[in-house]
Structure 1
């Protein structure tokens, strides 16, 4: 699948129930390691709940997926070297991509009219948050997991209008920082939950890494699926 943008084509994929009907749209951003089998599995499971899920390669300016070679399992000894290679690509990302992805998503014949949701993992969670902030009329639900969602400052979160869930790794944020973040979310006035997932480390949803935590992944589904059901039903 090729998604037109202002500076080229972004590759990606979509998955949805094949029942010849329309479904609410969800834009899913991968983690920093990009599109790979575990991301396809997550998108497929979410689609099974009745959604059209679009997953773009946000590194498209640097080439199609896979942008860099990845081992089948990403261990802690691999992570640092891989992130070092990806960091220049992350720093070069610009915000225009969200307009193209949302426009492509809502134009698909399998996507119903009404608001959409955005979700993401790691850096993808930050991109999902930026997308929701920039498109308050289109995005009704935002979920981000083990993501640096406060990287743009609390003033950006105040502009959120979507229903929100942030699931934090226990190693990513202190209880004190969580309290400050949640104060910013309260100021936004939207329906927000933001919590630390007990015993988890950064990347806990990704079953192809040493960070994977099965209980954390289950809690992620327990939070994500009801959130989307509530928020997208409003449309």
Structure 2
């Protein structure tokens, strides 16, 4: 596979972005991987590589670039580090991620190996909210999106995903943990109610015996059955909507 670290020009500066795609001729369908709250690390790059290995051009943008180069040594995480992680995640919102993605589209549209007219995306935790906002904001540009144990899916603000779903034209998949204080049952119920109200081709799934963060192999909540079931769902989603 071919990997690059590039600087994508956005409204707010230059956003470091990891890109990876198969060897050989393209163009390849694009999947954008949006990071979770702890930010860019090798585990996310490995996820991008896994996506690319199935025939996709994957882009992993660093959404914290406005703050500088932010990297966390997660095995040494304590309350003080968690406080910094929380401050970082609060530094971005729907609008900033939409603007950053507009810059990323400008870059992808100039890439010969990227088929970027209709793309998909996946967001974990913090970004589980943003993939819904992006799908609503960009309309047909997003053929599909996967939101995995997303936080902030059910809030009072106008940008809450459960309110935006009626504007989404692509297909949405929501993967939830069975036990997750960040995404309680009432949030899942609100999303499922919004799915029914829109009549769209969306799906919500609760993975048994799982906790928040179940997809990350390096995390304490890793649950291989739930993780692999989620990957299978996403690859079917991308096969159906991008190829």
Tell me the TM-score normalized by structure 2.
0.87
Gaps of 5+ in 1: none
Cα distance in structure 2, aligned partners of 1:153 and 1:124: 11
Distance 1:213 1:4, change over 3 A: same
Given that 1:150 and 1:157 are in contact with CA atoms closer than 8 Å, whether structure 2 keeps it comes out as no
Work out the CA distance in 2 between the residues paired with 1:159 and 1:144. 16
How many aligned positions are there? Answer: 227
The unaligned stretches of length 5 or more in structure 2 are 1-5
Aligned twin of 2:154: 150
Q: Does residue 44 of structure 1 match 2:38?
A: no
Q: Which residue matches 2:24?
A: 19
| 1:175-227 deviation per Cα after TM superposition (whole angstroms, max 9, x unaligned) | 55423311202223321111111111111111111111111110111110000
Q: 2:3 — aligned with what?
A: none
1:188-199 superposed matches below 5 A:
188-199=198-209
Q: Residues 33 and 48 of structure 2 are in contact (CA less than 8 Å); yes or no, is this contact kept in structure 1?
A: yes
Residue 161 (structure 1) aligned to one of 158, 161, 169: 169
Instruction: Determine if contact 2:129/2:161 at 8 Å carries over to the other structure.
Output: no
Name the SS for the 2:109 alignment partner: helix
For residues 30-78 of structure 1, give each alpha carbon's deviation from its aligned partner in whole angstroms, at most 9, with x where no partner exists: 11111111111111111111110000000000112xx03314x36xxx2
Residues 2-28 of structure 1 show CA distances to partners (whole Å, capped at 9, x for unaligned) of: 010111101120011111221001111
**Aligned-residue CA RMSD (Å):** 1.8
Cross-structure match for 1:210 = 220
Give, in whole Å, the separation in 2 of the partners of 1:170 and 1:83. Answer: 23
Give 1:1-235 correspondences, 5 Å limit: 1-64=6-69, 67-71=70-74, 73=75, 78=77, 80-93=79-92, 94-95=96-97, 96-112=99-115, 114-148=117-151, 149-151=153-155, 152=160, 154-172=162-180, 173-233=183-243
Structure with the higher strand share, 1 or 2:
2
Bigger relative CO (Cα 8 Å, ≥ 6 apart) = 1
Report the secondary structure of 1:109's partner residue: coil
Displacement after TM superposition at 1:79 (Å): 5.8
Under a length normalisation based on structure 1, what TM-score does the superposition of the two structures give? Answer: 0.89
Match of 2:114, SS? coil
